[in-house]
Amino acid sequence: MGRYLPLIFKNSWRNRRRTMLTVLSIGASLCLLGVLFAIYRAFYFQEASPEQARRLVTRNRISLAVPMPIFYRERIKQIPGVQEVMAYQWFQGVYKDSRDPKNFFARFATEPEKLFVVRGEIQVPEEQKRAFIAERTACAIGRPLAEKHNLKLGDRITLTGDIFPVTLELTVRAIWDAPDNDEVLYFHWKYLEEGLPAGRQGEIGTFSILAESPGVVNQIADKVDAMFRNATVQTRTETEQAFGLSFLAFLGNVKAFLLSICAAVTFTILLVSANTMAMSVRERIREVGIMKTLGFTPGSILGIILGEAVAISLLGGALGCLLAAGLCAVIRNGPVAFPQVRNLSLEPPVVLLALAVAALVGLISSAIPALGAARTSILDATRDMG
Amino acid sequence: MALPFAYNWRNLVVRRTTTAMTALGIALTVAVLLAVVALVEGLHRAFEATGNPLHVLVMRKGSESELSSNFTREMYQDLKFKPGIARAASGDPKASLEMVTVVSLARIDSPEGMNVTLRGLSPTGVEMREGLTLLRGRWFETGRREVVVGASIAERFPDAEIGKKIHLGQSDWDVVGVMEAGRGVANSEIFADLNQLSADYNRVEVLSSCLIEATDEVAVQALINDLNNDRRLNVNARTEREYYETQKASGAPIQYIGTLVAVIMAIGSSFAAMNTMYAAVARRAREIGTLRVLGFSRGSILLSFLIESLLLSALGGLVGCLLILSLNGMTTGIGNFVTFSEIAFNFHLGPKGIGSGILFSLIMGAVGGLAPALMAARKEILTALRET
């Protein structure tokens, strides 16, 4: 097979325009496929980071929008294997003008002294950490958020509540870095609570539980839910990763959506490639006849044609992967609704999969014309007028 | 002089395998675009169908959704005697104090449960919703733990069936009826008696919102201004239409991703169409020479090949439309981040959607066909005739 390689390359370069167009066409489709694979992987196959693997989220069984009593925190803390329990509350609220999507970022009321324990991956200078914990109206923001809104230490942020009937005057006291790069603001839950009417105090939306080791996470989830099974307010506890995915499921059937697009794209490449190969084989029937008289076996002719198709589609695949890597960067830096894609990149397994799809498409699409050419008798082939 | 249209058509038929494959590639691209169009269109229709132009929705100032709004009974007492509110036959003002929350219901394909909007309201509130009809069973009775479920809830959730019980708040509630609201969002909601529900949820005093009906269209604006300027009430009033209009944004992520995918696929398909057309030009070199000898101008050759490419892509566009038309009317659900619950709606591909699909395919055909057509038109007669 190896000795036919130069012939295969020569052949595929013979009709340059056609090869280029096919490569471009396959490249565009495979770029799409690569990005979709990368997104799929980021959503469903991402390994949890060591910190994340130890964390669980507890919320009200009915819905995330319905709160739980804050005293659950102490009871959860007593479960063996639980290192720390942090209460946190999605505040939402309005920052400046709510119509500008730039002004929408996550704001959580939380317990600052526990924040840096439970989210161990957060890096912040020691004096900023202390300043944030000490001041009741302080807030801590992620670096990307600070850069986006040009916020510095000491700046003031006013948040008008919508879910909660309060207006918060916050001062930036800490700017932190974290690997997942999120645009989040944390402030003191106590500050929020004291502004609320009596009827809404003592309630919290979510608990973040830090387990002692990743191994006990599932046991803890079962134990927490069992503990409150017969209480007025029941809970649902799941790993932080599963919790993140539940938001995705909320959007609709994302899995089916991604997979059906992938199928449509793959089928389109198959058509494009099949079309090209059918055209190029048809032109060359006479040549095949001559090759046969020179002693090429049907097997080698089959191999040469299949090889040509695979070479072209692999070239398209390589181009597609390059484009996909670029598109991933665009998605990464664009406005992102889901934290899972914030570090989207084209990892080696995805590249391999995309190239494998390309090679397979090349093989399948050329199988029929190649078989036809290999089977034609010398007489028929040399008589063919192209 | 232009070449006859039949010439292009026959050429496509002669090369039927190539034509079919190229057209099918374009068809799939159009189908991806139209699937998204049909989804978003269906969602928009559901929101547009909800909302009576005379209805005004009142929520606490700063709230963007009924779910996050608070509305007290005291506010309601102040509000219901405002001028401009229509009166029911009984003489009561058409003002409905409502409580909105979400419940998680288990479904076969998501045993973990999907969020559904639960609305507590009075008989006045039910009466005010004119498009609402009872499909089966009866309405809930005041003071009893009974619910009426929307038609698409009844379809999608096995537990939401007349005679069965649903667990809400602290107790089990009987499903007594199924309601239908045309395409409106009430199809994805559960209705129950306000007083009973608020008691069960321990929020007798603090409810969610108030829906009022103005006497006429002029009164709507006056009522809204009056309410928004009332410092003591501190509320935000807007027409019901406007409220649901803002929720259309729930379709935005899918629309954004789908369009991006379709455009990238279109680039690929344009290259494929270009390939096919170049092959057509190459095969017919002698024919082009002959046509030129016969007196057809370069312009008519250009036009002819362009038309052939457009014909090819329109064929694909049509097939794509047919593929997606088969989805029409199919029900699907999407998460609504305003109400934090799932809304069910039907795919809808209207004439506008079909038009945009065909246009999209024609653009692909034009982009793919222009360069080959130019090449064909530029051929010199002698060299063209000599080509094999």
User: SS3 of B91, please?
Assistant: coil
Token pair recorded at residue A202: 């003592």
CB pairs under 8 A between A and B: 133
Over residues A28-51, mean pLDDT? 88
> What whole-number distance in Å separates Cα of residue A59 and Cα of residue A279?
60
Place B309 in a pLDDT band, splitting at 50, 70 and 90: very high
Model confidence at B339: pLDDT above 90: no
pLDDT at A58: 95
pLDDT at A336: 59
> What whole-number distance in Å separates Cα of residue B146 and Cα of residue B169?
13
Q: What is the pTM of this model?
A: 0.81
Q: Which residues in B lie closer than 8 A to residue A264 (C-beta atoms)?
A: 28, 31-32, 265
Inter-chain touch B388–A386, beta carbons under 8 Å? yes
pLDDT at A60: 87
A206-211 and A82-90 strand pairing: antiparallel
ipTM over 0.90 threshold: no
Handedness of CA A23, A25, A26, A30 (dihedral sign): positive
Name, of A218-227, A244-253, A255-264, the range with top average pLDDT.
A218-227
Place B109 in a pLDDT band, splitting at 50, 70 and 90: low
pLDDT at B239: 92
Q: Which helix (H) or strand (E) holds B341?
A: strand B341-346
Name every residue whose Cβ is closer than 8 Å to that of residue B21 and which is 6 or more positions away in sequence. A271, A272, A274, A275, A278
Over residues B251-262, mean pLDDT? 83
Over residues A318-337, mean pLDDT? 85
Q: Rounded to 5 degrees, what angle do the CA atoms B270, B276, B282 make?
A: 135
Give the pLDDT confidence of A235-251 residue by residue, as tens digits.
889 998 888 887 777 66
Over residues B318-332, mean pLDDT? 88
Model confidence at A346: pLDDT above 80: yes
Place A284 in a pLDDT band, splitting at 50, 70 and 90: confident
pLDDT at A169: 93
Q: Which residues in A lie closer than 8 A to residue B209 (C-beta atoms)?
A: none
Q: Which residues in A lie closer than 8 A to residue B21 (C-beta atoms)?
A: 271-272, 274-275, 278
Name, of A42-46, B18-22, B356-360, the range with top average pLDDT.
B356-360
Q: CA B204: distance to chain centroid?
A: 36
The DSSP code for B58 is E
Inter-chain touch A252–B332, beta carbons under 8 Å? yes
Judge whether A237 is closer than 8 Å to chain B, CB to CB. Answer: no
Judge whether A234 is closer than 8 Å to chain B, CB to CB. Answer: no
Q: Rounded to 5 degrees, what angle do the CA atoms A160, A161, A166 make?
A: 90
Is B42:B187 a contact under the CB 8 Å cutoff? no
Bridge partners, residue B129, by sequence: none
B171-180 and B146-150 strand pairing: parallel
Model confidence at B138: pLDDT above 90: yes
pLDDT at A217: 92
> What whole-number distance in Å separates Cα of residue A44 and Cα of residue A35?
14
The secondary structure of chain B, three-state, reads CCCCHHHHHHHHHHCHHHHHHHHHHHHHHHHHHHHHHHHHHHHHHHHHHCCCCCEEEEEECCCCCHHHCCEEHHHHHHHCCCCCECECCCCCECEEEEEEEEEEEEECCEEEEEEEEEEEECHHHHHHCCCCEEEEECCCCCCCCEEEEEHHHHHHCCCCCCCCEEEECCEEEEEEEEEECCCCHHHHEEEEEHHHHHHHCCCCCEECEEEEEECCHHHHHHHHHHHHHCCCCCEEEEEHHHHHHHHHHHHHHHHHHHHHHHHHHHHHHHHHHHHHHHHHHHHCHHHHHHHHHHCCCHHHHHHHHHHHHHHHHHHHHHHHHHHHHCCCCCEEEEEECCCCEEEEEECCCCHHHHHHHHHHHHHHHHHHHHHHHHHHHHCCHHHHHHCC
Place B254 in a pLDDT band, splitting at 50, 70 and 90: confident
| Tokens 């964390």, residue located | A55
Nearest to B261 among A18, A66, A261 (CB): A261
Q: Which residues in B lie closer than 8 A to residue A64 (C-beta atoms)?
A: 340
Token pair recorded at residue A309: 């198709």
Place A1 in a pLDDT band, splitting at 50, 70 and 90: low
Over residues A335-352, mean pLDDT? 79
pLDDT mean across residues, chain A? 87
Share of chain B above pLDDT 90, in %: 41
Give the pLDDT confidence of A64-99 residue by residue, as tens digits.
777 899 999 999 999 999 999 999 998 888 888 766
pLDDT at A220: 94
Q: Which residue has the higher pLDDT, A250 or A49?
A: A49
In chain A, what is the straight-line distance between the N-terminal and C-terminal CA atoms, in Å? 27
Inter-chain touch B254–A257, beta carbons under 8 Å? yes
> What whole-number distance in Å separates Cα of residue A336 and Cα of residue B254?
13
Give the pLDDT confidence of B160-215 residue by residue, as tens digits.
889 999 888 778 899 999 999 888 888 899 999 999 999 888 788 889 999 999 99
Give the pLDDT confidence of A95-135 residue by residue, as tens digits.
887 667 678 888 999 999 999 999 988 999 999 999 999 99
Residue A228: is it exposed, middle or buried by C-beta count within 10 angstroms (0-12/13-18/19+)? buried
Residue A106, φ and ψ in degrees, nearest 5: -75, 135
